[in-house]
Structure 1
Amino acid sequence: MKSIVQHLPESVLSQILENAFQWFVVVDKNSRILYINEDYCRFLEVERDQAIGKPVDEVIENTKMHEVIKSGVADVASPHYIKGTYMLANRVPLIVDGKIVGAFGSVVFRDMNDWKKLSSHVRTTMDKINMTPNDAPSKSYRLEDIKGSSQAIRSIKETIQMIAPSDLSVLIEGESGTGKELFAQSIHGRSERADLPFVKINCAAIPAELLEAEIFGSYHEHENKHRKGRFELADKGTLFIDEIGAMPLTLQAKLLRAIQEGEVEPIGSHITKQVNVRILAATNRPLGHLIEQGKFREDLYYRIQAITLRIPPLRERMEDFTELANTFLQQYIIKAGKRRLVLSSQTREYLQNYHWPGNVRELQNVIQAAVYLAEDETIEPSALPEQLKQVRKKQHPVLVNLQEAIEDLERTMIKQALVDETDKRVIAKQLGLSRSTLYEKIKKYNL
C-alpha cells in the first residue's frame, strides 16, 4: 500500500480524496480539522481555508468526532442531524502504533431519503438478477419497462425515482391507452412497500352498486362472514384506484374519510378496521372539469394529488415511436414462435404517420396483430388495419437557411423604404437603425 501511494502523483491523490466519498473530514487527536473536501464545504457554506485548523464542532453542528477519538470505537451508519435534515454518517478513529491520532468522518447519504432510494434500487436490482421467467408475476411492471427517451418520459422517470420512496399520494393523468398502470406499478416497485401488496381497482369497470363493497369490503351477519375489500387487501402496501373520476360522489366522501383516518368500515359492519395504504390514482378525464361540473369532490382531489404525473399521448412523443414499435415487435415475434420479422419501409411510414387515438395500447395491439398476419419475414401494409392506411403522408415544411431568410427580409424592407421615402434620416428612424448602419446595408445589398 505504501509503495502505491508513493508512486501516485499529488494531483491524483487529490482527485481520490475529493471523490472517494461525497462528504468527508479528517481531524487530529484534538478534534481540529486537518482536511475537509470541497463538496462538504459548499454544503456547510464555509471556505475550506478557513475551516482547516478549526475545532470540528465550530464547523459541523452536532458532530461526534470528539467522542470517537475519546472512546476509540467506530460509529458506523449513525444518523446525524445537520442543517435541518438527518443524514447517515460514519466516524472512524485513526490509530497509529496503537495510539489514536485523530478520526475520519464521512457522510454516506446526504439525507435519509437517499438511503430509502438506494434501498429500493438495490432491492429492484436484486429482483432483476434473481427473477426467472417462471418466478415473474404476471402483468408486473418496473421502471425499466417504461420505454422512451423523449424529454417528457425522462422527466417522468426522474420524478418517479424521487417520489417513490415516500408515501405521497400520486395522481396519474393521461388518455386511455397511455399506460397509467405501468407508471403506478413503477412507483410501487421503487418504494419501501415493494415487497407488499399492489392492489388495483378500476372504478369504471365495476357497477356503482357493487363498487363500495369492492373497495371497503362487506360483512354478512347471518353468515358471520367478512369479505375484505381492496383497502384491506392492500394494507401496508399500495392501492391503485384507476379511473377514479368514475367513482360516485357518495363513495368519494367515504374514500376521503378512509384516506384521512386510515381506517375503513365494511358494509354491514359497525367496526372500523385500521389500514396503512399508499394511494395512487389515475384518470383519463381532467378532474378539474369534473369538479366544475359537480361530479368530483374538490377536497378529495387535493388529497390524492400531492404529486401529479401527466402521461403524454403517443402523438406528443413520436420520438419514442421507434423504440416502442421495436420493443413490441420483438416481444410478439418470440410469443408467436417466429424466427425473424421486420417492418417494410412503407409499413413503418404508415405507422409513423398515424395519429394513434388509442395511444401505446393501440400500437401494441396493431403490432401484435401484424406479427400474426405477416405472410413472410417482412410485415407489409396488408397486415395493418385499414384505418392506418387512410392517413395521408405528412407534409414537412421546406427548411431554408435562417441567415439567408433574414437577409432577404432585410433587403426587401430597405428597398421598399427607399421607394417610399428619400430622406435617409427618416428611413433610418423608421427601421430602428443608425444612419451609418443604414448606409452600410444599402451598400451591402446594392440598393
Structure 2
Amino acid sequence: MKKLPRVLLLPLLLATAAQAQSTPTTLFPHSDDSPYLVAGQMNLITQYHPTFHAPYSGAFSLSPEAEAATSFVATLYTAFSLARWTEGAVHVEMAAGGGVGQALGLAGFTNMDVVRNPTLGAEPYLARIVLRQIIPLSDDTVEAVRTPLGLATQLPRRRIELHVGKMSTADFFDVNSVGSDSHLQFMNWTVDSNGGYDYAADTRGYTYGLVAEYHQPAFSVRFGEMLMPTVANGLNLDWNILRARAENLEVELRHELLPGRLGVVRLLGYLNHANMGSYNEAIDAFRAGVDPVPDIEAHRKQGRMKYGFGLNLEQELFGPVRAFARAGWNEGENESFAFTEVNDTVALGGDVRGTPWSRPWDKVGLAVVSNGLSEPHREYLALGGHGFVLGDGQLNYGRETIFEAYYNAHLWRGLYAALDFQHVNHPGYNRDRGPVNVGSLRLHLDL
C-alpha cells in the first residue's frame, strides 16, 4: 500500500504568505480569497541500495543485489466553496514507477510514494472526493491556512467539522507537522507514520468514510468510521459495515509547556473489523501437517478484530528547531492488514529550517525508528510463512531499526530537491540479513 503525504500538511502556501517571505513557494500564485482552488504537485523519487549481506532470501525478501528504482506521483487538487461553511474537494492522481524490491522485505519501507502492487497501471484515478461541513459553535474566529481540503481562512474558534467521502485516513489521524509529508520531509513509511497504526486503506492508500471533529483552542477530538479492504493490501473495499469497518478516535491536546513554543500531544486508538487471518491458527495448522507452510490467508475469518493505540508528539524547541516522537502498539494475534507489518514501534526525530544559513525554505531532518513484531507474528515468519510485506523463508529475529537523514533545498518558486539517506538494521526483522543503506534523490514541484 502506498500512503501519500498528509494533504492537510502540504505547503501549498498562498500568495499572501509567499509575499510575506518575498519568495514564491508555488509555481503559480494562488488567491487567498477565491471561492475555488486549482493546484497540484509532482513528486519524483529515485532510490538505490548497494549489495548487502544476505545468506538466504525468500519470495518476499528485499533483494541483496544492488538495485535502483524510481517512483513518480502527480496530483491535481481542486477545491471549491459551496456556501459559507460548506466546501468540497476533488483530487485526481496518477502514480508510476516503483520501489526497490517492489516494496517488499522491509516493514519500514524507504519510499512512502510506492504502490505495493505492480499490476496497477499508471492511469489517473480518483484519489479524493470530500464534502466538508463546518458547524460554528462560537461567533469569534481564528485564522486558518487554505489547503487542498479546506479553503476557509477564518474558522469559528469553537466548531464541529464533518468530512465525508473518499479520503485517506491519514489526512486526519496521526498527523505530525515534523514527520508526515514524504514530499518535503522524511520518506520512510514508519517515520512519516505510526507503523503500529494499521489504518483502513486500499492498496493506493485511500478509503471511503466519515470523520467528525470538535475543535476548541486547547484541544480537538476526532472520530472516523472507515471502510476496510476485502483482503489484506487489497484494492477493493468492503461496503458491508456490519461485517467490516474501522473505528478511529484521536484526542489532540495543544500546550505551551515551553513559553511561546507550541507543543502538541495526540492520543490515538483504533479498532478494525475485517476478514483477517490468525497467526496462531496458521502456526497450529502447519505444525499439525495440514498446511505445507504456514499460510495465514488460509485461516482468515470474517469479523476478526485488530486494535491498537498510538502516541504522537511534536514540540517547538528554540529558533528554527522542532522535535517529534511517536509510539505505537497493536495486538499481534491477527493479521497485519492494510498498512505494514509492525506490531510495536517507537520513533524520535526533528528538523531545522535553514534560517540560520539564510535559506529559510530549506530544511534538514534526522530521525530514528525501531519497529518490532509480536511473538506469534515472528514465529509465523520464522517457520516460513509470509505476510503481504515480509517473508524471508526463515527468521533470526531482531528489531528493525532505521536511521534517516535528509536535506530538502528550495531551488525556485515551487521547485525543491532533496538528498536522503536511510540505514536499515535487521531488514524485515532478520539479524541474518543486512544492514542496508539506501540513498535517495527527490525532486518535488508544487504548482
The higher relative CO (CA closer than 8 Å, separation ≥ 6) is in 2
Higher strand residue share: 2
Q: Which has the larger radius of gyration?
A: 1
TM tier, shorter chain?
Answer: under 0.3
Higher helix residue share: 1
TM-score, normalising length: structure 1: 0.22
